[in-house]
Structure formats: structure tokens, C-alpha cells
A and B are shown apart, each in its own frame.
Chain A
Amino acid sequence: MNDQNDNDHGPIVIVGGGHAGAQLCAALADAKQGARVHLVCEEAELPYQRPPLSKSFLKNSGEELAWHRADAWFAQAGVTLHRGDRAVAIDRAQRRVTLASGAVLPYRWLVLATGARARELPGLHAGLANVAVLRSAVDARRLRALFEAAQQVTLIGGGFIGLEIAATARALGKAVTVLESAPRLLQRAVSPELSAHVLQTHRDAGIDVRLGVAVGGFEVEGDRLAALHVDGRREPVELLVLGIGSAVEHQLAHAAGIVCDNGIVVDECMRSSDPAVLAVGDCTHFPDARSGRRVRLESVQNASDQARTAAATLLGRPAPYTAVPWFWSEQGAMRLQMVGLMPAEGERHRRPGATPASFSVLHYQDGRLVCIESVNAPMDHMAGRKLIEAGRSPAPEEACDPARPLKSFVA
């Protein structure tokens, strides 16, 4: 490359102040490169931790956002923050990004950390006073305020976010209904065994979970949703929360001619089809090192580890992304933890825990241990991460013997 020198000096513009953007900032600042960094945050807030928004933040009216780094840290690291601003166009030929405010940022490297947005329900117009989604701090503050008044909460969507919100609402003493169109909860993300356990636990907690239902016929009165129709029956609504998944934010990249396909397509070092443009986090469609599949993952782990991989690429010592995916969700009394990618087909074995509320499901594909789902079994999860990282596959009958800690197979 004829601009090798520039690699060490030119500005690095990061678009997106979510987990991936914040972690990339931190990694670059650790390498004393903070002064080259511009972080463009669409939200007015400093980058903050998103996982508590559906749990403790929603539950405790006094809880504040947890910052990734304090204001003073950004100043000291030399990072330039563009808060409450948004990238609207990329000029790849001139290597510059235009922001909504009109500011133009030249770059040597551009990193897209644009994430995903909460999906809206077709047929239900946005802006109703008693309909909410949860993605951002603004959404969370609004939902928290709505929770204070509501006695009854209806959720559409039995995915992770929907179920976390449902459990929080139930813990706050509300009457909660979950409407899911699929025949089981978390259908795309977890095994049937785990789905069944999650369903039973939520029902035991008093949540009215309805599966395989068709929702339509929204009755709007003024600025409120008065009722909806579930399998043709009218159901009054006090507060409706939509947890129907997310849509990837890749329009900015797509409009600039960067290759996108269910996310921004990147290689194992987080490089997009333009060698000066990288992408990290929820918005990437990347090659998974173990399965060989191209995947898009929405998780804190993926955001953190891809940010570290991108930092290494930017610092001139690229190393492929090989992290084992892991994920967690807290839903009332359940701490769910998953490691590895759940195979479409394979064998499943149950490893019992100390109580019926604690167990793991081990997934094997062609004799290889590829994924572990754990409920209230953090030690199985942590040991599982090490096993899958190391490519170890203890025989199922041994790995499922509760008398043997999973950890004993790591060494």
C-alpha cells in the first residue's frame, strides 16, 4: 500500500455509539490511539450498557444508565464525541462521512457499528401513546414511565427481549400476557427442551403465555390502542409492548455501495468490501470460524470481540475473529446462558443440575460438542465456553453425569 504511513496517523471515524463502538474506542485508546478517533453517537447519551434496560433499569425507577466510560475518560483519551448526530452519507472516493448536522469528517479508516433497530408491527401505526418498543435509553425511560401507570401489560413476541420485559413486568406485580405466533417460545434461538422449561417457568410465575396465535385487528381510539384481536377474539389493551425482533441497520453502507447481505458483509478481520471500511457488532454478516457458516449475531459478546478484532486490524496486526459466541438472558428466576451456535440438526443431551430449575442441554453434531444451553448453571456455561473454545468433546454420557463437574473435562 502506498499510504502505509497514513495507517498510523489518519483519523478513525466510528459510526455508532452502542456496545461495539464504545468497546472499539476503548481498545484504540488503550493503544494510545484515542486522539485519532471520532465517535458518532445518534443518541444524546454517552455510550451506555444496554442489557439492564429490560431488567433492573426498567424495574427501579431511580436507576441511572451505566456508562461504558465516563465523560472525563473520553476527554482524557482524546476521543472526539459527536453526540446526538448521525451519519447520513459516506463518500468512499474522498473518504469522508457527512453527518446530519452538516459536519463532514474525513477518515483514513471508517468503522460502521450501526447495529439494528426494533422492528415495528405492520398495520399498527407508530406514535400511539400506549404502545412501546425497547431498544434505546429513550425507549427504556418511556417504558418505565408507562409501567408506573399500567396494571396490565400485553407483549407481542416471545423472544428474549419480550420475555425479559414480561418477567420484569410480572415482578412488578402486573398482569402480563405474552402473544407469540410461533408454536414455542424462543423458537429460532433455543432447543425445544429449553423452550418448554422457559414456558413452564413463566406460566408458573403467573404470566399468561399464548402460543401459535394470530394477532391483528388493531382498534385505535384517538392516540391510544384500545384493543387488538387475537385469533379473531377482541382483547382490550392497556399497554402494548412489541418485542418482535430487530432489523439490521445497514442502509448507510448499502447506499455507499458497500456489499450488504443481511448485514454488512465482512471478512474474518472485520473488513468490508471497501478495504478502508470495517464493520463491527450487530450490523455485520461475518464468517463463523467453527461452523464455516456466515452469520449475523446480536449480542454483547459479539460486539466486544469484534471490536477487539477490528482494533487489531486498525493497528496493523490483523488476526482473524475466532471467538466462540455466547449469550445470556435473565428472565425472572431464570439465568439462561448459551455458548456456541445451535446446530440445525444434531443430538441433544440433558445434563441435570442441583435442582429441577437448573440444567444444561448439550448439543453434539457429528460427535462434536458445538453448543451448550444452561439454565441457572453458570459453571456449566463457563466450562462449556472453555470446552468449545478448545474443541474438546467429552462423550455425552460422561459430560451429562452430574457427579462430574463439566470443568473436569477442560484440562
Chain B
Amino acid sequence: MPDIAFIQPDGTQEGFEAPAGISLMQAATGRGVAGIVAECGGNLACATCHVYVDPAWIDRLQAPQADELGMLDCVAAERRPTSRLSCQIRLDDTLQGLTVEVPERQY
């Protein structure tokens, strides 16, 4: 049950304890975190659950697969080296304290 946090473009931060075993995207949509649209529900079809992972965390996550890299090329906001699709990040206890930023827009 890692504690995770989302930082909105205006700087407000929302932290909460998320269940392990689900994706970061599911944790966000379940909670109704603003700006995580997740139109396709986590099927790598829409690129609307884009986040910027805190640089301190980026190398501690499993590297993105080819499909995710392809979709990251299509995100609506600026793509950065820390860009990930939150549907592809599975939560477990090693991610205690994971912090991500929500981009300005998703479509």
C-alpha cells in the first residue's frame, strides 16, 4: 500500500495511500485525480494518462516497453525524458513515496 502523490500544474499536491497491484492510472482515476483522463482505461490506446515522473524516481521504475514509447510520442503536452503513461506503472511497496506531475493537458 504505497503512499503516492500527484502534483497539479498549479502546484497543488494530492497525496494518498494507494492499493498495491493496480496501476498508477487506476489509483488516480479511482480517486478522481484531476487531469488523469485515461480515456481507454489503461489499454495503451489513447495517451491521456500521461505524467511526468519525479526525476528521483524515473530510474527506479521498470523501463517502458516499445508500445508505450510509441504512444508517448503522441502525448498532447510536451514530452519530456520523465514522461510516462501512468497505466503502465504497476504499484507495489517499492514505490512508497512515488511522486508524479500532471501535465497541462491530455488532449
Contacts and interface: CB of A to CB of B under 8 A. Distances in A.
A26 B35 CA distance: 12
A49 B45 contact: no
Interface string B57-68: 000000000010
B57 to A, nearest CB: 23
Given A49-B42, A51-B43, A378 B32 contact: no
A51 B41 contact: yes
Given A300-B40, A335-B67, A378-B71, A69 B45 contact: no
Contact of B29 (A51, A69, A77, A300): A69
B71 A67 contact: no
Given A29-B32, A66-B26, A67-B30, A379 B39 contact: no
A70 interface: yes
B42 A66 contact: yes
B1 interface: no
A383 B42 CA distance: 20
Interface in B1-41: 22, 26, 29-32, 34, 39-41
B41 A52 contact: yes
Contacts of B40: 51, 300, 328
Number of contact residues on B: which range applies?
20 to 34
A50 B40 CA distance: 10
A144 interface: no
Interface in A60-94: 66-70, 72-73, 76-77
A393 interface: no
Nearest to B34: A30
Contact of A330 (B29, B34, B43): B43
A168 interface: no
A379 B70 contact: yes
B39 A378 contact: no
A73 B32 contact: yes
B43 A378 contact: no
Contacts of A379: 70, 73-74
A66 B29 CA distance: 10
Contacts of A26: 32
B100 interface: no
Contacts of B73: 379, 382, 407
A304 interface: yes
Contact of A66 (B32, B41, B70): B41
A201 interface: no
B91 to A, nearest CB: 13
Given A66-B22, A73-B32, A378 B44 contact: yes
B47 interface: yes
Contacts of A52: 41-43
A376 to B, nearest CB: 9
Contact of B71 (A70, A76, A304, A382): A382
Interface in A72-131: 72-73, 76-77
A72 B73 CA distance: 34
B43 A69 contact: no
A333 to B, nearest CB: 12
Interface of A: 26, 29-30, 49-52, 66-70, 72-73, 76-77, 300-301, 304, 328, 330, 335, 337, 378-379, 382-383, 407
13 contacts: A49-B41, A49-B42, A66-B26, A69-B29, A69-B32, A73-B31, A77-B32, A300-B39, A300-B41, A304-B39, A378-B45, A378-B74, A383-B74
